Amino acid sequence: MVAWQRARMQINPGMTEHLKSFKDMQRNSEPLKNVNTQILIGVPPLEKKLLTIGISSVLRPQKSYLLDTLQSLFFASSSTEQKHFIVLVHLASPNPKWLSQITSNISTLFKPHIQARKLVVINTSGKSYLPLKNLRKRFSDSPAFVAYSSKQNMDYAFLMNFATNYSDYFLMIEDDVKCVPGFFTQIANILSAWERKFWVTLEFCPQGFVGKLFHASDLPYFVHFLLLFYQEMPCDDLLSHFLNLLRQQKRIQFSPSLFQHIGNSSLKSKLSGLKEAEENYISCPSNPAATLYTNLKITNDSSDSILMNAYSLDKNYVYVKEAKAGSYLTVLLHRPATVFHVQVLTGSESEQENHLEEGQVEIGYDSTNRVTECDDYILLGMLVNGTLNKHVLSEDSGKKVKCVRLLVTATQTSGLIVRHINLWVK
């Protein structure tokens, strides 16, 4: 209690040496001594991953979205991307019937991912939890809400405590979200860009506790922080104080959001702005004047007019009988521009076939003023189910894009349709 009172005082941002005090309290306290967390499904990976994606799920009074969230997560990431992360699910309700049913469903639907050590499901014993009775009243919050958010703080703490040693970074999402295709590559690119910068948390969704990324080495601090203040305020509010404690002055948020709620939030009924943002980007592509180049063998006619079908804003398209690994289709802008969003659509729109199974999109910059090509390419993202729809997060660098290249990374003999390459420019 003395340690808790000291910590409560140190939450004031005006206090000095608060980080040192908090670390001293962490060393002198054992809030995790009696925690008993066990694995219900799966086996942790043999090697350390880049990222652990954490989900804490509870029994909902109406509909559970956990299975939808897991399906979206794996659907929105390629097999190559999945090699670099592990999904850790914490089933945080003690109801035995629900635990039995949900573990059975996960085991059936995600058997390949479980066998590949990409998915692990855990549960923490109810005896591990701190008291949830006679909790302190918070402003106008109802007792039920205070109890719910207090337990959720502990749910998240036990999840993060278990996740500490499996990866370099930890990403928290909720059990009722939809993931944007290629979200992992976008996060990996940002991690690379921010490798030498100071940060405590990077945020890929503006609401609640969704899309919050941590260094795995910081998790023990945040776990202790959540347990010390579990009844003080909800976890997203506690995060603001934790950032101040570790001296991150401002929230670091990236847009558009990579995650969207697919159901009513357990805390508040509100939707993310992802859908609106996507509609704004997709409603009116710019597609400035450009020339297209390719080494693909286009069916029937190889003229420039047929090739431009892939860049036109109508319903025309380009069809290729076979696409060999290393083949490309490049859009060369007549004038370099600040491109802030790129969309690539392959495959038949109606029958969902002939999409590019393995490919990527690259952004090219002109560093030698060549007329017909670029010599400075960076990876924008991998296609997922033949599609890439991505915000160009490096637009603030000031460099203007000259080329956008669709690259085939594995030979495809089943035929390929390139339907649209759309660009949005400032």
Kindly indicate the confidence band of residue 298, based on its pLDDT and cuts at 50, 70 and 90. Answer: confident
Per-residue confidence (pLDDT) for residue 208, from 0 to 100: 82
Q: pLDDT class for 1, splitting at 50, 70, 90?
A: very low
Which of 2-6, 238-242, 252-256 holds the top average pLDDT? 238-242
Residue 182 sits in the same domain as residue 330: no
Residue 2 lies in a domain: no
Residues 57 and 199 in one domain: yes
* Residue span of the structural domain in which 190 resides: 31-278
Residue scoring higher pLDDT (277 or 359): 359
Distance CA 126, CA 36 (A): 9
Q: How confident is the model at residue 218 (pLDDT cuts 50, 70, 90)?
A: very high
In a domain, 352, yes or no: yes
Q: Is 247 helix (H, G, I), strand (E, B) or coil?
A: coil
* 337 Ramachandran zone, left/alpha/beta (phi>0; psi -120 to 50): beta
DSSP string, 141-207: --HHHHHHHHHHHHHHHHHHHHHTTSEEEEEEE-TTEEEPTTHHHHHHHHHHHTTTS--SEEESSSS
The answer to whether residues 121 and 142 belong to one domain is yes
Q: Are residues 198 and 307 in the same domain?
A: no
**How much is the pLDDT for 161?**
93
Are 48 and 150 members of one domain?
yes
Give the CATH number of the domain where residue 415 resides.
2.60.120.260
Task: pLDDT band for 282, please (50, 70, 90 cuts).
Answer: very low
User: Could you report the per-residue pLDDT of 359-379, keeping only the tens digit for each?
Assistant: 999 998 866 666 566 777 888
pLDDT of the residue at 400: 84
Same domain, 202 and 224: yes
Q: Is residue 48 part of a domain?
A: yes
How many angstroms separate the Cα of 14 from the Cα of each of 10, 135, 222, 412?
A: 9, 27, 20, 61
Q: Regarding predicted confidence, which is higher, 296 or 29?
A: 296
Determine contact, residues 166/251, Cβ cutoff 8 Å: no
pLDDT at position 23: 60
**pLDDT given for residue 158 in this prediction:** 93
Q: How many residues does the chain have?
A: 426
Is 249 contained in some domain?
yes
Name, in order, each residue with C-beta under 8 angstroms of 366's C-beta and a sequence gap of 6 or more: 336, 374, 375, 376, 400, 402, 403
From 278, 294, 314, give the residue that closes a domain: 278
DSSP string, 351-392: T--S--SSEEEEEEE-SS--SS--SEEEEEEE-BTTEEEEE-
Mean pLDDT of 287-301: 82
Is residue 11 scored above 60 in pLDDT? no
Q: Bigger pLDDT: 268 or 357?
A: 357
Q: Are 388 and 281 contacting, i.e. CB atoms less than 8 angstroms apart?
A: no
- With a cut of 70, say whether residue 21 has pLDDT above it: no
Q: Which of 49-53, 124-128, 376-380 has the highest mean pLDDT?
A: 49-53
> What is the domain count for the chain?
2
Q: What confidence score (pLDDT) does residue 31 get?
A: 60
Q: Are residues 247 and 335 in the same domain?
A: no
Query: Which of the listed residues 278, 304, 339 is the one where a domain comes to its end?
Result: 278
The answer to whether residue 3 sits within a structural domain is no
Please state, rounded to an integer, the average pLDDT across all residues of the chain. Answer: 82
Residue that finishes a domain, picked among 278, 307, 334:
278
Which of 71-85, 117-131, 368-382 is predicted with the least confidence, judged by mean pLDDT? 368-382
Q: What is the pLDDT of residues 186-207, one digit of tens each?
A: 899 899 889 889 999 999 988 7
Give yes or no for residue 293 having a pLDDT over 70: yes
Q: Indicate if the alpha-carbon torsion angle 63, 66, 70, 76 is positive or negative.
A: positive
Q: Could you tell me if 296 and 414 lie in one domain? A: yes
pLDDT at residue 341 is higher than 60? yes
Worst-scoring range by mean pLDDT, 13-22, 47-56, 196-205, 323-332? 13-22
In this prediction, residue 265 has a pLDDT band, given cuts at 50, 70 and 90, of: very low
On whether both 215 and 317 belong to a single domain, the answer is: no
* pLDDT value at 333 more than 50: yes
User: Do 252 and 352 reside in the same domain of the chain?
Assistant: no
Report the pLDDT value the prediction gives residue 103, as an integer from 0 to 100: 94
- The pLDDT of 93-113, averaged and rounded, is 92
How far is it, in rounded angstroms, from Cα 406 to Cα 388? 10
- Indicate whether 325 and 265 sit together in one domain: no
- Does some domain include residue 255? yes
Greatest Cα-to-Cα distance within the chain, rounded to the nearest angstrom: 80
CB 355 within 8 A of CB 418: no
State pLDDT tens for residues 396-415: 456 788 999 999 999 998 88
* 86 shares a domain with 60: yes
Other CB atoms within 10 Å distance of the CB of residue 48: 12
Q: Which residue has the higher pLDDT, 217 or 1?
A: 217
Quote the radius of gyration of the chain (alpha carbons, Å): 24
DSSP, collapsed to helix, strand or coil, labels residue 290 as strand
- Per-residue model confidence (pLDDT) at position 367: 64
Percent of the residues in the chain that have a pLDDT greater than 70, as a whole number: 80
Question: Which pLDDT belongs to residue 284?
Answer: 66
Numbers of helices and strands, H then E, in the chain: 12, 19
- Assess if residue 55 is contained within a domain: yes
Sorted by sequence, the CB contacts under 8 Å of residue 287 that are 6+ apart come out as 311, 312, 313, 422, 423
The answer to whether position 84 is within a domain reads yes
Q: What is the CATH number of the domain that holds 37?
A: 3.90.550.10
